[in-house]
Amino acid sequence: MENKYFVDSDKLSEAALKKKHALENDPGSRTDHMEYMNGMEKISSDICSRVISEMESYDYNSYTAADVRTALSHDNCTVEDLKAMLSPAAEPFLEKMAERARLETQKHFGNTVYLFTPLYIANHCENYCVYCGFNCYNDIRRMKLDTSQIEHEMKIIADSGMEEILILTGESRIQSSVEYIGDACRLARKYFKMVGVEIYPVNTDEYRYLHECGVDYVTVFQETYDSDRYEQLHLLGHKRVWPYRFDAQERALMAGMRGVAGSALLGLSDFRRDALASALHMYYLQRKYPHAEISLSCPRLRPIVNNGAINPLDVHEKQLCQILCAYRIFMPFCGITVSSRESETFRNGIVKIAATKVSAGVSTGIGDHESKYTGKENVSEGGDEQFEINDSRSFRKMYSDMSGEGLQPVLNDYLYV
């Protein structure tokens, strides 16, 4: 692994530095990433084995232009068609794929685009994930909002006009307990019509509790479906357990959640295989839970605090567009989210082709919405950001831009009766 992934450790204690060095350089010092830890629920499901079997057998260089033409000629896209469209052979057909994706998007979603915003309520983390700004060895300002601070942040966001919020924390059960997250979700119900969470994976009964607290959907990123690469990148903490993370969306659906979302973090490993696995993971969940709302995302690596050298490996905007078009053609009804990791220009274009949801008014820091939304000075210093965003447009600017592109911004499409 390249040293560029590791953060500066000058301020670590001698003992912590010694442990960090061992984790990075001695695989024998790490726990088994396929072994469940105490308290982790195991479920009986064949989705993981099916996804990994398809991914491991995927030889994308074996596909030809003829395979891509065949895939685009089919009214209903098969798994083999998806593989062809994700292959290098499909790159010359990007314009045709984009047109097909645009037609599918218009057919099933019209000219709508959904808007939401994330709210980070804590950045404490017990994991050592070498690409994440929140990792436990990174020397950053840590912060956990209390109830009044959470409500203050939510009121500022709601006053801007936003109706859907995604609540996020660092992955620390000690600092951000399920009960703490549940309390935040109950508060969110006072201000927002849609509430999602992107937190550490939990057991079915805990997802059921969060659903009772008002959560509509759960987002979990597998980061990479390549378990060997995953082991190299997640050196410490509960997140190190690859199979427990994989089954998180299914546990959430078993608990009664209305919807789930997921993806790999493109750029950590072979992006074509990760893109295939991401699509098939959501596809098999949709077939097993046909009542559920299933969504795909497409995050790429971004620079993090104390390390500006982390960038997506070989995943440029052209490849990202190819992946999103293939997703739309393969799963025409699936929601597709493009985050503020991507540029304003890219997001303005992709919502006309394949994406159905974008974030607006984004901050990945803790407790800083007042300064960012109102420009008010002398507010207290917040916690550091998880990663550097690329599109910093406000909610109002995003709404105006989407309307100007001929799209209909949607803030909420769900009514509780």
Question: Could you read off the pLDDT of 246-299 as tens digits, one per residue?
Answer: 999 999 999 999 999 999 999 899 999 999 999 999 999 999 999 999 999 988
Within 10 Å of residue 69's Cβ, how many Cβ atoms?
14
Give residue 381's pLDDT: 65
Cα distance between residue 36 and residue 296, in whole Å: 26
Q: Is residue 337 part of a domain?
A: yes
Cα distance between residue 20 and residue 2, in whole Å: 15
* pTM (2 d.p.): 0.92
Asked if 303 and 310 count as a contact pair (C-beta separation under 8 A), the reply is yes
Cα distance between residue 11 and residue 17, in whole Å: 9
Q: Is residue 168 part of a domain?
A: yes
Asked if 249 and 218 count as a contact pair (C-beta separation under 8 A), the reply is yes
Q: Is residue 190 part of a domain?
A: yes
Q: Is residue 237 part of a domain?
A: yes
Residue pLDDT tens, the chain, 417 long: 333 333 444 456 788 888 998 999 999 999 999 999 999 999 999 999 999 999 999 999 999 999 999 999 999 999 999 999 999 999 999 999 999 999 999 999 999 999 999 999 999 999 999 888 888 988 888 999 999 999 999 999 999 999 999 999 999 999 999 999 999 999 999 999 999 999 999 999 999 999 999 999 999 999 999 999 999 999 999 999 999 999 999 999 999 999 999 999 998 999 999 999 999 999 999 999 999 999 999 888 776 555 554 556 678 999 999 999 999 999 999 999 999 889 999 999 999 999 999 999 888 778 877 777 766 654 556 765 656 778 889 999 999 999 998 999 999 887 776
CA atoms within 13 A on the CB side of 313: 13
Provide the domain limits for residue 156: 3-410
First to last CA, the chain: 53
Give residue 307's pLDDT: 53
Q: Does an H or E element contain 392, and which?
A: none
Give residue 188's pLDDT: 98
Give residue 388's pLDDT: 74
Q: Is the dihedral of CA 14, 17, 23, 24 positive or negative?
A: negative
Cα distance between residue 382 and residue 385, in whole Å: 9
SS3 166: strand
Give residue 3's pLDDT: 35
Give residue 389's pLDDT: 77
Q: Is residue 417 part of a domain?
A: no
Q: The tokens of 291 are what?
A: 């009542």
Q: Is residue 47 part of a domain?
A: yes
Give residue 4's pLDDT: 36
- Helices 65-73 and 94-109, interaxial angle, to 10°? 20
Give residue 12's pLDDT: 65
Q: Is residue 416 part of a domain?
A: no
Which residue in 105, 68, 32 sits closest to 351, CA to CA? Answer: 105
CA atoms within 13 A on the CB side of 212: 9
Cα distance between residue 141 and residue 188, in whole Å: 25
Q: Is 375 exposed, middle or buried (0-12, 13-18, 19+ CB in 10 A)?
A: exposed
Give residue 315's pLDDT: 87
CATH number, residue 26: 3.20.20.70
Strand partners, 236: 128
Overall number of domains in the chain = 1
Q: Is residue 415 part of a domain?
A: no
